[in-house]
Amino acid sequence: MLIALVSGIVAFLIVPFLVPVESSGTLTITQAAGDNAEFVTLAGLQVHIETVDYTGDCSCEPPLIVLLHGFGASTFSWRDALEPLAREGDVIAYDRPGFGFTERPTEWQGDNPYGTPQNLALLNDLLAKFAQDREVILVGHSAGGQLAAEYARLNPQKVDRLVLVAPSVFTTGGLPGWLAPVLSIPQIDRLGPLAVASIASSGEDLLRQSFFDQSVLTAAVYEGYRRPLTVKGWEEALWRFSTAPRDNDLLANLASIDQPTLLITGDADTVVQTADTERLATELSNAELVVIPRSGHLPQEETPDKFVAAVLDWIARTAP
């Protein structure tokens, strides 16, 4: 028994470092994004962005509308909303670290680039570069909604209005904090990228769960979500994201958010339950709720016309 125990310990200490950990991706971020992709440097990272200039007829300075996607998504999630929203302002969507075609470092000095503090710093850099002292409207979906709300809470002078789409405020889906020391054990950390590589298949299950109408999930949609998985090293970057610190004080301070806020959810959302967004509408001091019928967790993709109409109407009605 002692020999077996010692053998097991030795195997645990050594074998993980003998297992090959290779990426299924083969492309650089620029190759995967395509020839016409646009990148800017924010918080020390090459960040993939998509922009559409204001197309309205007002002679006034248009607001800046910033779009933050959710977990496992990218700017692709906003493909049907980018141009229509430009009728009310300049629009910019960006890939959050760990997703899309934004740079995915696996080594760094200082704070983890995938954690909440650095995500907030990146958003701060983006607004410093593009807002230029004008009105800012943050639009965040799911985990991106949580980030947008926390940034607005911490920086009320920099965010004028909020649109939160099925925001993961009460249901976050993150790993419990107590697990971090376990995941940092070198042997487990070594095999982490292999553990998260399953998102290539499980992510499609989540995507299907996110839609009420499965017919909307065309081959082009699947391809749009798979494309970032062609980036070399995406597995290790996703592991670094999974173990990054995401502690924040949003939940305990919801009442301090007083910016005009539009909450949007689908009536068939089972990822972030519709009831969660309805509850959030009662927790915020200046919120309006829109529930889109026959729509799931991604109303901006599944019912884009209704989504865009709701946002444009609200922006027009709440203009300062």
Residue 260 has what DSSP assignment?
Answer: -
CB 211 within 8 Å of CB 298: yes
Other Cβ atoms closer than 10 A to 310: 20
In tens, the pLDDT along 15-61 reads 444 444 577 889 999 999 999 999 999 999 999 999 999 999 988 89
Please give the domain boundaries of the chain with CATH numbers for all domains.
Answer: 37-317 (3.40.50.1820)
Distance set, CA 185 to CA 69, 188, 189, 196, 212 (Å) = 31, 5, 6, 16, 40
Give the whole-angstrom CA distance, residue 39 versus residue 33: 10
In tens, the pLDDT along 254-300 reads 999 999 999 999 999 999 999 999 999 999 999 999 999 999 999 99
CB 145 within 8 Å of CB 68: yes
In tens, the pLDDT along 176-231 reads 555 666 566 556 665 666 677 776 667 789 999 999 999 999 999 999 999 999 99
Question: Mapping DSSP to helix (H, G, I), strand (E, B) and coil, where does residue 171 land?
Answer: coil
Q: 0.95 cut: is pTM over it?
A: no
Q: Is 154 a residue whose pLDDT tops 50?
A: yes
* b/e 90-110 (16+ beta carbons within 10 angstroms → b): bbbbbbbbbbbbbbbbeeeee
Alpha helix segments (H runs only) across the chain = 2-14, 29-33, 82-85, 116-130, 143-154, 180-183, 186-196, 199-209, 219-226, 234-242, 274-283, 299-302, 304-317
Q: What's the distance, CA 144 to chain centroid?
A: 4
Distance from first CA to last CA of the chain, Å, rounded? 75
User: Looking at residue 6, what is its pLDDT?
Assistant: 40
Share of the chain above pLDDT 70, in %: 84
Q: Is 68 a residue whose pLDDT tops 90?
A: yes
The residue to which tokens 């749009």 are assigned:
224
